Structure 1
Amino acid sequence: AAGEAAGSAATVSGKLRVNVDPWFARMVLAPNVQAFLSRHPQLSLDLIVSNHREEMMTGVDIAVRFGPAHGSSLIVRKILETRVVTCAAPSYLERRGRPATPHELVEHETILFRDPQTGRPFAWGFGRGGDEFDVDVRGRVTTDDPSTAIEACLSGQGIFQSLALGLDRWLAAGDLIALFEDWSDELYPLYAYHPSRHLPPAKVRAFLDFVQEICGR
């Protein structure tokens, strides 16, 4: 038993169960799953995709969440901080015009993202050089699914405020246009959580290192 325990601490093998935020799962993790599993051929991955923090550690080895750190009984590791980007499709801007300042958003259609903790849409915040404020936006589409929000934005439904992490492909191709880039000081953290242990298993350490690597890129 002691030998098996020592082996699990040093060998990346078995099944890794991960509870991961939908945005991170869709935009960052899914495109890199093949690379991670190729690096560790004795490992399999069981992904639970969820917005919710309640019981996020139930039956899993590690959880990944955006937002303030949570869980005093857990080991918490900050992975990164990502900017918040306000963006729109060219078709929307051609139809409705491009807002010159964040305050003009009150005259535009927006796509709202629901906070799973409160059930209400996230506030739209802006910051520059210490000047911070929220804009009371309105929209006819509210969702808690990032893929739905991005697709609606790409189709020209409205302006969307998103995490910058994972948007590169659409911004670089011109499918989405970033707005108010001089008002983008707001940052949102990404944390990994795992149970409090003296030394986490090798598969957990390997996943943490890989996530840190791809986020760094």
Structure 2
Amino acid sequence: MLPVIKEFTAFPEIHVRLLLSDKILSLVDDHIDVAVRIGKLPDSSMIATGVGSVFRVGCASPTYLHARGRPLVPGDLATHDCIDMDSLPSEPAWTFAENGGSKSLRVAIRPRFSVNTADAAVEAALGGMGLAHVLSHQVTSAVVNQELELVLREYESPAIPVNVMYASQPSLPAKTRAFFISLWRS
């Protein structure tokens, strides 16, 4: 989003407040003009435009994989250090796909380290603390730079939709229209 925001702030009268959260915030209650939501959207009065998709991927540092080996099937996670993301109060588990994505497979993990944000999980994986299960866009640069390696690729779940949303209103404010123009140019 930063390249879009940079172009958008070329307008001197525009001021941006960027909220980054792994939780769903209320656009109306939290005075948010535009939101990016990842995942299936519930029915609502919000207007949504699909802008892409991401995947949930398993990853670890080359150092960790060299020391502990590469998991070949999801069941191998039982012998690996896993970095969990805020699974309380439920049992920590990661979901994978079987049979080409037609069947979902939930695998219990025993986290060695638990965090409450994806950024912290990625940093822990970069530090060699274990395997993380995060969204593909969160590790793209680390994979390209060979700081992280993807694992269990053949078990990745189907694509997860990414949408840009805003509250339904009679007339879209000029700043929101200008933001969408910047978004589509990028």
Common fold by TM > 0.5: yes
Q: Give the match for residue 52 of structure 1.
A: 23
How far off its partner does 1:207 sit?
2.6
For residues 4-83 of structure 1, what are the structure 2 equivalents within 5 Å?
A: 29-30=1-2, 33-38=5-10, 40-58=11-29, 59-70=31-42, 72-83=44-55
1:163 aligns with 2:163: no
CA–CA distance in structure 2, aligned partners of residues 82 and 42 of structure 1:
33
The 5 A counterparts of 1:97-116 are: 97-114=69-86
Matching residue of 2:170: 198
Instruction: Please list every run of 5 or more consecutive structure 2 residues that lacks an aligned counterpart in the other structure.
Output: none
Secondary structure of the structure 2 residue equivalent to 1:142: strand
Contact 1:125 1:186 in 2 (8 A): no
Bigger share in helix: 1
Structure 1 unmatched ranges of 5 or more:
1-28
Scaled by the length of structure 1, the TM-score of the pair is 0.73
> How many residues end up aligned between the 2 structures?
183
Give TM-score scaled by structure 2 length. 0.83
User: Within 2, Cα distance between the matches of 1:119 and 1:65?
Assistant: 24
User: Following the alignment from structure 1 to structure 2, what is the Cα–Cα distance between the partners of residues 36 and 122?
Assistant: 40
Root-mean-square deviation over aligned CA pairs: 2.5
Q: Decide whether aligned partners of structure 1 residues 31 and 166 sit closer, same or farther in structure 2, where only a CA change above 3 A counts.
A: farther
Does the aligned pair in 2 maintain the 1:113–1:144 contact within 8 Å? yes
Distance in 1 (alpha carbons) for counterparts of 2:132 and 2:54: 16
Relative CO higher for 1 or 2, CA cutoff 8 Å, sep ≥ 6?
2
Structure 2 residue aligned with 1:125: 95
Identity of aligned residues (%): 27
Task: Note if contact 2:58-2:134 (Cα within 8 Å) is conserved in structure 1.
Answer: yes
